[in-house]
């Protein structure tokens, strides 16, 4: 059925919804179309363009953020589904003007080249290292397997995560 | 904006959800974790008029362990189940789940993906349909008309197809306890970590007094849907575990599979994987072999 041709009276549910989300500690209230993805909401409605939109079907991991402390693909959720949740994006990782130890490790160990995939890698690493100390290389590679990088060949990224494992006091 | 327009409904109770499904039927699509449906919406391969979001429905998620049995609410996140089974003692269905869940996508996928969603999506190469088939699960299905309980073989009907009617909802997965002497093995070969299986095998075997008394065997990725290896089970039950017998039964079963060839290899390759993974999984589940890394396949 082509829903574009429906009149307002035909609609059975919502096409727009007002939602309240907490992003990096700040509360936002916005009215959004129900089919707007969470990552588009972050970028276009809130201006938080750190989360990147890559494949838009859950393969590349560039849009990885934390939703209620769990790492998720922000391209595979609708913004309306995030109503009432707490999100962390790469903008929330930085300690004020100072880079987070994970970011510093990526800087120090060539964990990025073009940087497109980096926000996703940072949040994935944050989630992984929060629970894990003394990670082995196979464990790191498995933890990062849901994020794609087309520049570095992953060597630098794995080294960065190993370094952050040592430097991040948690 | 990627998906075609839809009307969004987010019911908060099971009854309300069932009423909505009864009212909108084929026009509605149920959204659980969204890890398969949202890509289909983004590509506009699916264009439902009404999207029914289950994520606000109370009482559809949660895990209950009782006397060795496990009841899993349909919207339980795969990562929640993973955490639950990692802390449970050995000797129950948790053993097989512990091995299988890590193969599903990536942590980011499992954090949203649900147990019931994966089953209802019925991807022929997915891990959970094979796991619940080998585990002899009971799938609880509800509609506004009533409740029915079906075994996996009456649920998985074919390529991305289940016996769920448009007004029905998978609400719970029940896994029976394991008798003494039961072991499980879940083995998979895929191109990359986190990919769907090229072939995966789930094996649950009970050995008592040196003989195999029951077995559940399921193969993913080698047919239009998860298939149970009934001929192998029939050949095994009543006999003593024997590598020669296992190899012959697995070989005969795999030879009858007709997997579609794809860019990753010809049908013969998947038959080869099915044969070897079956052999190894049964050997592990009967205690003839210890666990080994699947990447050595």
Answer for the pair B77, B114: CB distance below 8 angstroms, yes or no.
Answer: yes
Give dist(CA A21, CA A45) in Å, integer.
12
> Measuring CA to CA, how many Å separate A167 from each of A92, A100, A104, A164, B146?
19, 10, 9, 5, 57
Q: Decide if pLDDT at A1 tops 50.
A: no
pLDDT on residue B295: 41
Write phi, then psi, for A109 (nearest 5 degrees).
Answer: -115, 25
Segment B131-148 shows an average pLDDT of: 98
ipTM here: 0.91
Q: Pseudo-torsion of CA B227, B233, B234, B240, nearest 10°? A: 170
**Which of A16, A18, A45, A73 should we substitute to test contact with B (largest number of B Cβ atoms within 10 Å)?**
A73
| pLDDT tens digits for range A18-45 | 999 999 999 999 999 999 999 999 999 9
Q: Which residues fall within 8 angstroms of residue B149, CB to CB, at 6 or more apart?
A: B138, B139, B140, B141, B174
Domains of chain B (ranges; CATH) run 7-56 (3.30.43.10), 63-175 (3.30.465.10), 182-288 (3.30.390.50)
State the nearest Cα–Cα gap between A42 and chain B, in angstroms. Answer: 13
Q: Which of A92, A119, A135 is the endpoint of a domain? A: A92
Note whether A105 and A150 are same-domain residues.
yes
**In this structure, what CATH number is given to the domain that contains residue A79?**
3.10.20.30
Regarding whether A76 and A21 lie in a shared domain, the answer is yes
Neighbours of B47 (CB within 10 A): 15
B108–chain A nearest CA distance, Å: 4
- Between chains, do A33 and B1 touch, taking CB under 8 Å as contact? yes
For residue B27, which residues of chain A lie inside 8 Å, CB to CB?
1
pLDDT, tens digit, 9 for 90 and up, residues B203-239: 999 999 999 999 999 999 999 999 999 999 999 999 9
Q: Report the CATH number that the domain containing residue A118 is assigned in CATH.
A: 1.10.150.120
Q: Is pTM beyond 0.90 here?
A: yes
Structure tokens at A91: 């903008």
d(CA B189, CA B199): 6
- A88 with A108, same domain? no
For chain A, how many structural domains are there in total? 2
Do residue A113 and residue A160 come from a single domain?
Answer: yes
Q: Touching check for A12 and chain B: CB below 8 Å?
A: yes
**Structural domain span for residue A88:** 3-92
Question: Which tens digit of pLDDT belongs to each residue from B243-274?
Answer: 999 999 999 999 999 998 788 889 999 999 99
**Is there a single domain that holds both residue A59 and residue A105?**
no
Percentage of chain A lying above the pLDDT 90 cut = 88
């Amino acid at each position: 059925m082509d829903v574009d041709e429906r009149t307002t009276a035909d609609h059975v549910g919502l096409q727009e919804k007002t939602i309240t989300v907490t992003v990096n500690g700040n509360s936002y209230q916005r009215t959004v179309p129900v089919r707007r993805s969470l990552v588009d909401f972050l970028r276009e409605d809130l201006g938080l363009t750190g989360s990147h939109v890559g494949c838009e079907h859950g393969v590349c991991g560039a849009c990885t953020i934390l939703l209620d402390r769990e790492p998720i693909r922000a391209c595979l959720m609708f913004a309306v589904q995030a109503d009432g949740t707490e999100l962390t994006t790469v903008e929330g990782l930085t300690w004020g003007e100072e880079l987070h130890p994970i970011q510093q490790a990526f800087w120090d160990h060539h964990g990025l080249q073009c940087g497109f995939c980096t926000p996703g890698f940072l949040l994935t690493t944050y989630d992984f290292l929060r629970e894990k100390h003394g990670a082995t290389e196979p464990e790191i590679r498995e933890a990062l397997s849901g994020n794609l990088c087309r520049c570095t060949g992953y060597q630098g990224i794995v080294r960065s995560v190993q370094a952050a494992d040592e430097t991040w006091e948690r | 904006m990627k998906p075609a327009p839809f009307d969004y409904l987010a019911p908060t109770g099971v009854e309300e959800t069932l009423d909505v499904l009864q009212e909108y039927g084929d026009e509605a699509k149920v959204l659980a974790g969204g890890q398969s449906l949202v890509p289909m919406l983004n590509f506009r391969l699916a264009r439902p008029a009404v999207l029914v979001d289950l994520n606000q429905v109370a009482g559809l998620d949660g895990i209950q362990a009782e006397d060795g049995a496990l009841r899993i609410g349909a919207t339980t996140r795969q990562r929640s189940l993973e955490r639950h089974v990692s802390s449970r003692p050995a000797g129950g269905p948790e053993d097989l789940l512990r091995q299988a869940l890590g193969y599903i996508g990536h942590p980011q996928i499992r954090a949203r993906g649900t147990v019931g969603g994966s089953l209802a999506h019925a991807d022929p190469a997915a891990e959970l349909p094979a796991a619940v088939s080998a585990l002899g699960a009971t799938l609880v299905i509800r509609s506004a008309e009533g409740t029915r309980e079906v075994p996996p073989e009456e649920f998985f009907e074919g390529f991305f197809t289940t016996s769920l009617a448009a007004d029905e909802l998978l609400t719970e997965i029940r896994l029976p306890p394991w008798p003494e002497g039961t072991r499980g093995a879940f083995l998979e070969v895929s191109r990359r970590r986190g990919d769907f299986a090229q072939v995966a095998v789930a094996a649950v075997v009970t050995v008592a007094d040196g003989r195999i008394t029951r077995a559940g065997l399921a193969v993913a990725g080698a047919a239009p849907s998860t298939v149970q290896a009934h001929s192998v089970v029939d050949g095994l039950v009543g006999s003593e575990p024997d590598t020669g017998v296992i190899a012959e039964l697995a070989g005969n079963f795999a030879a009858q599979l007709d997997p579609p060839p794809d860019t990753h290899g010809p049908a013969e390759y998947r038959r080869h994987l099915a044969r070897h993974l079956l052999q190894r999984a049964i050997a592990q589940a009967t205690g003839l072999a210890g666990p080994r890394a699947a990447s050595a396949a």
